Amino acid sequence: MNKYNTGFIDKTKNKKILEKALSGRNSLIACRASMNPHCPPKALAKILRRGKDDDISWNAAYNSNCPPEVLAEVLRRGKYAGVSSCAARNPNCPPEVLAEVLRRGKDDWISSYAARNPNCPPELLVEILKSGKDNLVSHGAAQNISCPPEVLAEIIKNTTFDDIRWFASHNPAHEKYLRKMKRDEKKLKLQSSKVRSSVKNPFYRIQINESS
């Protein structure tokens, strides 16, 4: 595999080449191959089933092509924090497995990444945020774009923890919610204005009736 440089491996979509790169002796080339989004799922699974906690395994666990069932295997094995954290961050990770990680009740980075994963069940995020704890898991939940915006707004208003308030207020889901609220408020004001105008101006009310 020495005839391939890192630039080529980063850009290639050739699955056979990527698979060979992963199994080759050049660790740098293998590491870059494990990052390539076109790397075959079977090849990534083979890497993770070695049971190692190296850079190649970390990249494979975070790769968007990694099979959900293999990510589940990594997290349920729970042998290494590094590769497990990468698996917990992967959007392919099954919701039920993320829930299993969080039900352990541990406040570690693996749990924090699981709480931040968009696949995490919303009802579990609500449970975490309403627990009243200021920890890594709560910080992850407050950043999750799948968290119900109404809950984020409630947390921002009521929490006494600055970090959680900051994460929740900068959550894209909350920002989108605020934009929607502003649009709805403008529509309501416009409708109220039209109603007041129709009351003051009978001719305007007739025009509205004729156009409806």
**In angstroms, rounded to a whole number, what is the distance separating the alpha carbons of residues 86 and 95?**
15
**In angstroms, rounded to a whole number, what is the distance separating the alpha carbons of residues 183 and 64?**
35
What separation, in Å, do the N-terminal and C-terminal C-alpha atoms of the chain show?
Answer: 73
For residue 110, what pLDDT is reported? 97
Could you report the per-residue pLDDT of 18-30, keeping only the tens digit for each? Answer: 999 998 889 999 9
Quick check: 117 and 93 in contact, CB under 8 A? yes
Structure tokens at 156: 């921002």
For residue 1, what pLDDT is reported? 45
**In angstroms, rounded to a whole number, what is the distance separating the alpha carbons of residues 147 and 124?**
9
Could you report the per-residue pLDDT of 110-159, keeping only the tens digit for each? Answer: 999 999 999 999 999 999 999 999 999 999 999 999 999 999 999 999 99
Q: Tell me the pLDDT band of 179, cut-offs 50, 70 and 90.
A: confident
The upper half-sphere exposure of residue 203, i.e. CA atoms within 13 Å in the direction of its Cβ, equals: 0
